[in-house]
Amino acid sequence: MKSPKGSILVVEDDKNQRAIIRTILTKEGYYVEDVGTGKKALEILKNHVFDLVLTDLRLPDLEGTDILKEVKIQNRPCRVVIVTAYGSIPSAIEATKLGAFHYLEKPLEKDHLLIVVSNAINQVQLLRDNIMLKDQLVEKFQLENIVGNHGRMHELYRIVRKVAPTSTTVLIYGASGTGKELFAKSIHYNSPRKGKPFFAINCAAIPETLLESELFGYEKGAF
């Protein structure tokens, strides 16, 4: 049995419309749960993680934007698509400004629905992959995972722990093959900047006359 292509929570007070959406998405290989009220949706979202929430803008008890706000507060990799009637399009556009992935106009057109759902879930899966890769990098360059028990190594570990939380400029020097880049990455991935890229620059490949301007920039017209 294949794994679901993604998990979706459908929030729609119209029972027949809810059943139609569930059938379409289930046949496409998605795992679908559906509810008829905003409060029930919020209750489920407290204990379950979905790739996508597909919610009507107007619900009997809440607005679709209330669900959107809760998803944003949870800060999980999840996207929200708003479904709206024709007269509510301006409100749906406002919802996208608040962070909704997209909005769909009733009556729903099957092919358009599936395209939007697929795009939203693909984005979530890419985001999850990115988070996982970052976590792996952070784990890889934890000091506990660097092999070495010599006294000088322990001194290096101490220095890395001291400078990593700061914004201090650090110069690491040593012979080729002694692990300079490894310790540079350890400083980066143990610092507040660990969520940002680490750039390694081959200075030997840059002419000496251009090295300073390449690293630190230059004023227009300087050359």
75, two tokens: 């800060």
Instruction: Indicate the range of 75-79, 95-99, 157-161, 184-188 predicted with least confidence.
Output: 157-161
Q: What is the mean pLDDT of the chain?
A: 84
DSSP symbol at 48: -
37-46 pLDDT, tens digit each: 999 999 999 9
User: What is the band of 160 on the pLDDT scale with cuts at 50, 70, 90?
Assistant: confident
8, two tokens: 């979706």
Domains, the chain, with CATH or none: 7-137 (3.40.50.2300), 142-216 (3.40.50.300)
Instruction: Indicate the range of 30-34, 49-53, 184-188 predicted with least confidence.
Output: 184-188
Strand segments, DSSP code E, in 85-152 are 102-105
Residue 133 has what pLDDT? 65
Residue 68 CA to residue 74 CA, distance in Å, equals: 10
Q: Is the pLDDT of residue 195 over 90?
A: no
User: Which residues make beta-bridge pairs with 83?
Assistant: 56, 104
Residue 207 has what pLDDT? 81
The residue among 99 and 88 whose pLDDT is bigger is 99
Angle CA 124–71–121, to nearest 5:
20
pTM of the predicted model, to two decimals?
Answer: 0.62
Task: Count Cβ neighbours within 10 Å for each residue of 10-43 and write b for 16 or more, e otherwise.
Answer: bbbeeeebbebbbebbeebebebebbbebebbbe
Q: Please give the share of the chain, as a percent, with pLDDT higher than 90.
A: 42
Give the pLDDT mean for 164-177: 82
Residue 25 CA to residue 32 CA, distance in Å, equals: 7
Residue 144 has what pLDDT? 53
